[in-house]
Structure 1
Amino acid sequence: MTADKPGELDVDYELTRLLRRSRARGLRLAAQLDESLDLTSYLLLMAIYDQGDGVRGADLAESFGVHKSTISRSISTLERLGFVERVADPDDGRAQLLMPTTEATKTIDGIRARGHGWLAEILAEWSNADRAAFASGLARFNDAAEDNPHS
């Protein structure tokens, strides 16, 4: 970027680079799980996995900012592929929670371990202070973006 442009444009440019790389990486990781898995279903599976103790489909729809029917189609795909199962909600007997299957959890654990190794390799030359500042800045950005979801 040039010096006559505001710094926000530099941030936007770097975020765009990161998002392109993240999308391509997500597609590669989705294919490791199943060649037919699309990026949206992969990201949904990761969100279900990250919840740990189960999540309602309606809550996923809200967090993804999409209609429940969109989430429902992806959940059906994930169930058909054996990645997700429904379990009774212990707090509400009428509701169901989505959980990753045992097999999906093992596979995702492996994918995450390889990803952590990749990050460790990239950040190997960074000081502990630089890594901490980067993580803190990302967390601060993500928190602010979640509090202000309008584009």
Structure 2
Amino acid sequence: MISFRDNIVFLIAKAHQQAQGFLKGQLKTFGLTPVQCLLVESLWEEEGLSVGEIGRRLVLDTATLAGVLDRMVNAGWVRREVDSEDARVARVFLTEKAREATAELATTIGSTNNELLNKFSLEEKVLFKRFLRDIHNYD
């Protein structure tokens, strides 16, 4: 029988709790949740994504994403615009507030990642990320 201490589901869940809790604390000064931060990061890579594309990239269902987006629009982090070629599609853009916070937010995200992985060698960090992507089947 496997001990719960060696159960991979337990280990991943506890690592997730610790990482989310730590990130949550780091993001308090911005007034963002970890999911909202991921949404901002996705728009750093490519602005003007459709709501559907953001959902696919972040693996979020439409209902969850709609609530997250509503709160971010109300807080002034993003804006939604109707696609000029297809009125059924909403595109999401960063606001000036988000752009002004980019450097500080990126630094916070980087330091959070470094803090969480500081016990690992470079090779272990690369392998760890690969293993997590493989479990998730995410490129």
Structure 1 residue aligned with 2:127: 133
Identity of aligned residues (%): 11
TM-score under structure 1 length normalisation: 0.65
Are positions 1:76 and 2:73 aligned together? no
Are positions 1:47 and 2:47 aligned together? no
**1:138 CA displacement:** 1.7
Structure 2 residue aligned with 1:65: 61
**1:98 CA displacement:** 0.8
Are positions 1:27 and 2:27 aligned together? no
In angstroms, what is the RMSD of aligned CA positions? 3.3
More relative contact order, 1 or 2 (CA 8 Å, 6+ apart): 2
User: Can you give the 5+ residue segments of structure 1 that lack an aligned partner in the other structure?
Assistant: 147-151
Are positions 1:16 and 2:13 aligned together? yes
Structure 1 residue aligned with 2:79: 85
Structure 1 residue aligned with 2:111: 117
User: Can you give the 5+ residue segments of structure 2 that lack an aligned partner in the other structure?
Assistant: none
Q: Give the number of the structure whose alpha-carbon radius of gyration is greater.
A: 1
Q: How many residues align?
A: 134
Structure 2 residue aligned with 1:149: none
* Cα distance, 1:105–1:21 mapped onto 2, change above 3 Å: farther
**1:56 CA displacement:** 2.3
